[in-house]
Structures are given as C-alpha cells and as structure tokens.
Amino acid sequence: MNNWIQEKLLPKILWFVNTRPVTAVKEGIIYTIPLIIVGSVALILSNFPVPAVVAFLSDHGLIDILNQAYMATFNINAIIAVLGISYQYILMEKQEPLGGAVIALGSFLIFQPSSVSVTNDAGEVIGTVSNVINRTWTAGQGMIGAIICGLLVGYIYSWFLKKNIRIKMPAGVPVGVTNAFSALVPAFVIISGATVLHGVCDIAAGTTVIEQIYSIIQIPLQGLTDSFGAIIIYAFIVSFLWFFGVHGATIMSGIMQGILQANYLDNQAILDTGLELTKANGGHIVTQQFIELFVTATGSGITIGIVLYMVALAKSKQFKALGKISVVPGIFNINEPILFGLPIVMNPLMAVPFILTPIVVGIIEYVAIAAGLCPMYSGVYVPWTTPPIISGLIAGGWRTALLQVVMLVVSFVIYLPFVRKLDLAALENEKAAAESEDDDEDW
C-alpha cells in the first residue's frame, strides 16, 4: 500500500498541484492577502463590539472614512486576483508579464455589467446608472470569473509571444516601448475575443460573461465546498498528504483558496446589505477562516495536543526537549518541529490521531455554526500565524474563541494515548542506554 501511494498516487498529485494553472492561482491570489488584512482592521473598527466606540467614531464622521478604506480593499479582490494570476502564469512561461496582466484586467472588465439599477425603498427599479464598474463583480462574486479570465489570458498571451507573433522593434528602442508593442498583437486578439464573447452573451441571453460564470460555475462550486462532506474530505487530504511528507495544507489552499475566499466575501456582502448572516440569507459556513482557525490551527493535524503533553506530562528527556522547542512555533500555528521531530511523517502509530483530530474538530465547528452556537465568519480576516483564541476572538467573537478552547482540549484528548505510548517507549530506550553506559564504565 505504501509503495503504491509513494510510487503511483503521490507523483500524480504532485504533478497536478505543480501544473502552471494551479500554481498561478495559488501564487496569484496571495496578492489579495495584504489588502484583506489591512481592510479587516478598518472593518473591525467600524463595527467595534463596544457601542461607545462606534458612537464616538460615528459622531466624528470616522465611520464613513473607515468604510471607504474597507470597501476599497475588500471589494476589489477579484481585480487583484485576475492581475496576479495572469502575471504569475506568464512569468512561469518566461515572458514579460505586466503587459499580459493589464490585458487580462481589460478583458475582465469587458465581461462585467457596465450599469447598475437604482431601486427605491420598496425595491422597485426607478432608474439605471451607466458607465460604472460594479463592485459586486470585483469582489467575491467575481472571483471564479477572475481565475478563469486570468488563466485564459495568461495562456493565450504567452502562446503569442512564444510563437514570436508580435511587433518587433529595432535595437536601441527602450525596453518599455518594446514590451508595449510586443503586447499589441495578443492584446488585439484577446480584447477582440472578449468583446465578441460579451456580445454573444448580451444579445443571446441579455446578460454578461461574469454573470454566466457566477450562475453556472461559481454557485455550484461554492455549494460543494460549503458542505459537511467537504470539510471531512478537506481535513483528510491535508493530513493524509502530510503523512507522506507532502505539504497538504499548501496544496489544498492553492486549489481551494479562491472559492473559500469568495465564500467569506459573500458573507460580508450580506452583512453590508443590512441582512442577518444566516444560511437562509445565503451565508456560507465553510470559509478560509473556518479552515485556518480550526482545521489547520496550530499546524496541520492540530498537533497542539502533542505539544501540551510534552510540556506538561512527558517522562522522557527526548519528549521534554522536543516540547520546549515546539511550544512557541505551535502557538503561532507552525508545527514542522513536531511533524519531523516526533516524527509524524511516515509514523503509522501517529497516522490515526493525525488524520482523525482535524476531522473531529471540523465536524464540531461545522455543527456549532450550523446550530447557531457560533457565528458565521464575516470578511474579518486574520493572518494565519495569529495564535488560537486570539484569532477566534478577532474573527468571530468570544464564542469562536471559546470553541477554539474546546478544539485544544479535543486535540489533547485524541493524541494523549498515542503520544504517551511513544513517550514511554522513548523513556525505556533512555533507561536502557543509561544502563548500557553504566555497564561499559564498570567493565
């Protein structure tokens, strides 16, 4: 079984996750993270849980200023994604990437509605405003469209340049001018194709490309990820891959991050309309925060339970020393010292708790949110290195922080019998080594 996994399964998985499209999506969406984190600060301040603080900000006209910062960061994530994904794809093709990224942005805007309906308090359409960029489609709802557009434009643009189908400039012309003219032919073809595609959707269906992508592709994908079964599969794959030394969290994040990000951006959009964030109103339970605050908290496999045992209960010198080394990284969600130092990688005894713990924690979190015991996640996003309890308090309030305490206890309980067995075995080895050393000295 192990040989089959190592020789047949893992190479195919690694081939897939290292393909240019998957890598471009993974690396491109990362560009949105700084804006999301900074925008989260403005969002937290404008919705501070202390009414007196909100009243003070409102009285001094600061709420609108904070909302401007929040809207200008959160609601352009799809724009940043299409730029980042196309840029990374073209860069991997070893072509000049900025010109292609700009073309991808232009195509993405062609695919969007250029007008927005104005309604009255009764919800009746009373007019239309034209010549606009609708932020609805530059945020979460446009994320899958951004991914598709970024990859397609990146591929087509790179193909033209690799085939040397471009306008060539004589030697001595500035590099910026040369790059601009090199991009002219692929730009004409790509923008023309995007315009034709927009025209077909507009004339045939009275809609836009981005709206079609959203209804046909994105909604079903978000529905699949936002499910009980999806959490079990996600948690299993992350730990399963890590057991063989493959960074499962990075692989799954690269594949799923765009959809999970769209889920929490949709949640924030619901709150922005004044509605309550519930499943009935279209809210999503499974988001990027769901994964990072629980399923991969303290590192893949939620190995904080092992660290707690080592620090408080370990008998062997080896485990005590490893606990001291691992406790600080573990607090900040880094657990490579445990994964390779215990080790967990390729350790059959530890495979069971390592795979089981995140699945159990994910189920508990899903049920807690579905039952209303904990809130769904809004747009507030904290860096993945934020320690548990603090991260829960920021992203979901005291109930989420309390659930993280439950997570720590669950991790400790599940790992306890397994890590204790290894600890006692290490203790026996240490005693045997000490006795052998004493015998050698006597001799």
The predicted structure's pLDDT at residue 172: 74
- What's phi and psi for 299, nearest 5 deg? 105, 160
The answer to whether 301 and 394 are in contact (CB under 8 A) is: no
The residues near 218 (Cβ < 8 Å, ≥ 6 apart) are 141, 143, 144, 145, 259, 262
> In Å, how far are 138, 187, 263 from 274, measured between CA atoms?
20, 41, 18
Q: Which residues of the chain have pLDDT under 50?
A: none
**Can you tell me the distance from the alpha carbon of 390 to that of 397, in angstroms, rounded to the nearest whole number?**
9
E strand residue ranges, 120-237: 125-130
The residues near 250 (Cβ < 8 Å, ≥ 6 apart) are 26
Cβ-in-10-Å burial (0-12, 13-18, 19+) of 282 comes to: middle
If one counts every other C-beta atom within 10 angstroms of the C-beta of residue 361, the result is 25
pLDDT tens figures, 376-421: 999 888 888 899 999 999 999 999 999 999 999 999 999 999 999 9
**Can you tell me the distance from the alpha carbon of 81 to that of 149, in angstroms, rounded to the nearest whole number?**
10
The predicted structure's pLDDT at residue 438: 59
**Can you tell me the distance from the alpha carbon of 297 to that of 440, in angstroms, rounded to the nearest whole number?**
47
H helix or E strand, kind and range, residue 50: none
The residues near 180 (Cβ < 8 Å, ≥ 6 apart) are 99
**Can you tell me the distance from the alpha carbon of 431 to that of 314, in angstroms, rounded to the nearest whole number?**
15
The residues near 139 (Cβ < 8 Å, ≥ 6 apart) are 74, 75, 76, 77, 78, 265, 269
Predicted TM-score of the model (pTM): 0.82
Q: Which has the closest alpha carbon to 284: 143, 73, 83?
A: 143
Bridge partner residues of 128 (DSSP): 117
The predicted structure's pLDDT at residue 443: 55
The predicted structure's pLDDT at residue 284: 94
The answer to whether 44 and 394 are in contact (CB under 8 A) is: yes
Residue with tokens 């990224």: 101
**Can you tell me the distance from the alpha carbon of 26 to that of 254, in angstroms, rounded to the nearest whole number?**
4
**Can you tell me the distance from the alpha carbon of 394 to that of 399, in angstroms, rounded to the nearest whole number?**
11
The first and second tokens of residue 349, run together, are 């005894």
**Can you tell me the distance from the alpha carbon of 222 to that of 231, in angstroms, rounded to the nearest whole number?**
13
Residue with tokens 């530059």: 138
Longest Cα–Cα distance of the chain, Å, equals: 100
Classify 136 as helix, strand or coil.
Answer: coil
Sign, CA dihedral 54-56-57-60, equals positive
The predicted structure's pLDDT at residue 440: 56
